[in-house]
Structure 1
Amino acid sequence: MTQWPLPSDEAGRIQEIETLGAMEPTAEPRFSAIAELAALICQAPMALVSIVGAERQYFKGRVGITETGMDRWLGFCSHVIMDRRLLEVPDTLADPRFRDDPVVTGEPYVRFYAGAPVISDRGYVLGTVCVMDHMPRRLSTAQRRALASLSTCAADLLQLHHYARQSEQVITRLAEVEELKHGFLRTVNHELRTPLTSIGSYLQIIQEGGLDATTERKFLDVIERNSDRIRGLVDELLLLSSLSARTASYVPARLDLTTLARQVCSVTTARAWDSNLTLTFRSQAHVAVWGDAGRLHHALAQLLDNAIKFTPPGGAITVTVLGEPTPSLEVRDTGIGISAGDLPYVLDDFYRAPEAEEQAVGGTGVGLPIVNKIALMHGGSVHVDSTPGEGTCVRLVLPIPSTDSATAR
């Protein structure tokens, strides 16, 4: 079997075919209609709309052919791909390029071939619209022109199918965003209404009077905690907004990730103990990073807050700072975990996994998105691994500080 030379734009051509979703062996009615029209106009018993992939040809439409595809190097279409113009072979047995080809010497015994290139909007030859016959012959000028027009129709149809799939994806995503918005509004309503109701109730009791000083102080402490809760929620939403708009301040400097993580853990230890959780800190001596200390402090605090919220009493949280191969920090817990179906969405704004809703774990779905945006601000990334019922590991990876950045301040 002869393998003809590859076109110079082969890599881009294959990528274009994949992007358009054209490598499907199943015949489609509209492409089959193009093949039928080609066969009718050219008065040929066989016609194809063929997409030529890296190794195979995919028949999107066919007439007089039962196969859904074949090896790329069989037949004539690879020549069309190379020449980028209509190819007509009046008598295949008289043409040394094709007389020994299996489709000529065996089924379907092709003696005549004419194929026009299917060219995408970006100029890549994706395949052909071709007609074949069992006897030698030639096309008329009008038939050649019609075959070329049908190849243009096939290219347009491939593009329209691509746009249709994109539209479906956009519609699906818009529906998901709408659901996220409603879920966010429900969550925020609950997160705000609960402390506000508590504040209103305690204020009313205090205003009615008759409380001793100790009780009144306790009630005021409750009001203060709920006020802090509301303030924290508003601050998080404002921070998420500024990070999304890229207007959040960013003042980087050389700092030690180990020292920063130890400080965050020290502040969080008491809360972990109150929740009957074991908090362990592990690190190398010094891990240098280039970043905004305030932003990174907030990101680490957010990761610990999530670990505490989603880990039942008696569980464990381990914070590990690593310097190799790149600076990173891992927060691993033995909490409720996240299902595989939810993992791709946990970095999306306002997304809350069903497990959080089912177990009534508080939150608005902005914690991990904030961490992710802070990581991106630093040129880093966030990776989440989780197993339901076993726990979650969130890894914040930061770039190695360059010599230039280290001496910039």
Structure 2
Amino acid sequence: MAGTQYAGATLEQERLAALRSYEILDTTAEQDFDDIATLASQLCDKPIALISLVDADRQWFKARVGTDVCEGPRDTSICAHAMFDEDVMQVPDARLDPRFANCPTVTGDPHIRFYAGAPLITPHGKALGTLCVADSVPGSLTPAQRHGLRALARHVVTQLELRKYARDMHVLHQRLRSAEQIKDEFIARVNHEFRTPLTAINGYLEMLGDPELPSESRDGFLQRVQRNSDRLLALVNDMLLAAQVSADSREFARVPADLAVLARTSVDANRPLAEAKGLIITAETDEKVFADVDVRRMGQALERLILNAVKFTDAGTITVRAEARDGHAMLLVRDTGVGISEEDQARVLAPFRRSADAERNEVQGLGLGLSIVKSISEGHDGEVTITSRPGVGTTISIAVPATGPYPEL
């Protein structure tokens, strides 16, 4: 019995998901649907006609003729029965049918006696509701009227499918436009970011080929070649990592880990970089912050947050914190840098998108760092949050589901 109830609940959830996928509930009246209801009323010679969509606990009328009622409870709905019928369900006199004799629409206004409903069935076999007609006097439909009501019910579903298709095509078009824009930005960004160090390397190599170049100049040029080479390598690594952690290709080996240890390790590894810029970097952690993570990937995400903080902080401190909060394991990187405007906070999480300050000051980078962080976070069922005030500083946090604590071995 329990298995049957579970299967029934699953089917109902699938049915409701199908209904809601059309995004039709609680929309305004539309002429196409109103015309179908009018045709049903005229064809069946009944004063009331409805396109009834049965939600979880109500029936809602997309189109109606002969009544001003917009919706009603599902538990007293005749349509909730009719939508599961294989054919047109007819109730010649609702007063004589024990299923419906006590329904408010039968005992009270509009005093329904006759009812006929054709189910609205999706191409995948899910029942959405009915196209129904009703009357305050007993009656029945002729075979031709039943056939016509079924045909009009199919036309209702066709209209729903057409609207869904049009909406999906609009979304796809928007995504394609966005993808095209990202591609253009990618080409422009990569062209600039790669061409600049390559041009510099080429120039220094030409000068290094001069046999009369003083040794002290040679050493300086070699250092510049090395810096530009390191910059190119960092760009390539970011591009490869972005591809590896994209939504379509990421595979994370998640194991129990203490994010407090990860925070302290990342701070130690990046301290020379921060101190070279005159910044103070510290780690603040709870005693234990457990989560199931891919330690390498989460370390890459945290490193990019720290590098970002260093890049956009001219003076002050960078604090890396690990803490447990509200069922989440948190990694936070707080800086005293330039900050990110509210308009840019959503933008900078997308690939190749950078803040206005980064663009204005021509800060090096492809704009992949925070999008990599976002992908890694989402790959751990987590999310990234940005809190920032321009000129004051920024805090970027990664929150993933907390687990543990784990027994020590």
Q: Residue 384 of structure 1 aligns with which residue? A: 385
TM-score of the superposition, structure 2-length normalised? 0.80
Output the CA distance in 2 between the equivalents of 1:281 and 1:120: 57
Letter of the 1:391 counterpart: T
TM-score of the superposition, structure 1-length normalised? 0.80
**What's the CA shift for 1:353?**
4.6
Letter of the 1:227 counterpart: S
Letter of the 2:38 counterpart: E
3-state DSSP class of the match of 1:166?
A: helix
After superposition, the Cα gap between the structure-2 partners of 1:287 and 1:96, relative to the gap in structure 1 and judged at 3 Å, is closer
Output the CA distance in 2 between the equivalents of 1:338 and 1:114: 61
Letter of the 1:318 counterpart: T
- Tell whether the 8 Å contact from 1:57 to 1:71 is kept in structure 2 after alignment: yes
- Tell whether the 8 Å contact from 1:375 to 1:398 is kept in structure 2 after alignment: no
- Tell whether the 8 Å contact from 1:25 to 1:68 is kept in structure 2 after alignment: no
Output the CA distance in 2 between the equivalents of 1:284 and 1:343: 28
Within the candidate set 389, 393, 396, 2:396 is matched to: 393
Deviation per CA, 1:41-76: give whole Å up to 9, x if none.
212233111112123322222333344434445653
Letter of the 1:392 counterpart: T
**What's the CA shift for 1:268?**
2.2
After superposition, the Cα gap between the structure-2 partners of 1:388 and 1:121, relative to the gap in structure 1 and judged at 3 Å, is farther
3-state DSSP class of the match of 1:383?
A: strand
Letter of the 1:40 counterpart: Q
Unaligned runs of 5+ in 2: 1-7
After superposition, the Cα gap between the structure-2 partners of 1:356 and 1:77, relative to the gap in structure 1 and judged at 3 Å, is farther
Q: Residue 3 of structure 2 aligns with which residue? A: none
Moved more, 278-287 or 220-229: 278-287
After superposition, the Cα gap between the structure-2 partners of 1:353 and 1:144, relative to the gap in structure 1 and judged at 3 Å, is farther
Q: Residue 316 of structure 1 aligns with which residue? A: 317
Output the CA distance in 2 between the equivalents of 1:204 and 1:137: 98
Output the CA distance in 1 between the equivalents of 2:386 and 2:320: 15
- What is the total number of aligned residue pairs between the two structures? 398
Q: Residue 146 of structure 2 aligns with which residue? A: 144
- Tell whether the 8 Å contact from 2:330 to 2:397 is kept in structure 1 after alignment: no
Output the CA distance in 1 between the equivalents of 2:38 and 2:254: 65
Output the CA distance in 1 between the equivalents of 2:263 and 2:98: 74
Q: Residue 231 of structure 2 aligns with which residue? A: 229
**What's the CA shift for 1:31?**
1.9
Output the CA distance in 1 between the equivalents of 2:150 and 2:42: 14
**% identical aligned pairs:** 37
After superposition, the Cα gap between the structure-2 partners of 1:317 and 1:58, relative to the gap in structure 1 and judged at 3 Å, is same
Output the CA distance in 1 between the equivalents of 2:271 and 2:323: 20
3-state DSSP class of the match of 2:148?
A: helix
Unaligned runs of 5+ in 1: 1-6
After superposition, the Cα gap between the structure-2 partners of 1:183 and 1:28, relative to the gap in structure 1 and judged at 3 Å, is same
Output the CA distance in 1 between the equivalents of 2:277 and 2:84: 69
Within the candidate set 129, 133, 154, 1:127 is matched to: 129
**What's the CA shift for 1:182?**
1.0
| Residues 29-40 of structure 1 mapped to structure 2, 5 A cutoff | 29-40=31-42
Letter of the 2:322 counterpart: V
Output the CA distance in 1 between the equivalents of 2:138 and 2:291: 74
Q: Residue 197 of structure 2 aligns with which residue? A: 195
Letter of the 2:303 counterpart: A
Q: Residue 365 of structure 2 aligns with which residue? A: 363
RMSD, aligned CA: 3.8
- Tell whether the 8 Å contact from 2:374 to 2:384 is kept in structure 1 after alignment: no
After superposition, the Cα gap between the structure-2 partners of 1:67 and 1:341, relative to the gap in structure 1 and judged at 3 Å, is farther
Within the candidate set 50, 57, 63, 1:55 is matched to: 57
Within the candidate set 203, 221, 234, 1:219 is matched to: 221
3-state DSSP class of the match of 1:314?
A: coil
**What's the CA shift for 1:139?**
0.8
3-state DSSP class of the match of 2:228?
A: helix
Task: Please state if 1:41 is matched with 2:43.
Answer: yes
**What's the CA shift for 1:284?**
4.4
3-state DSSP class of the match of 1:281?
A: strand
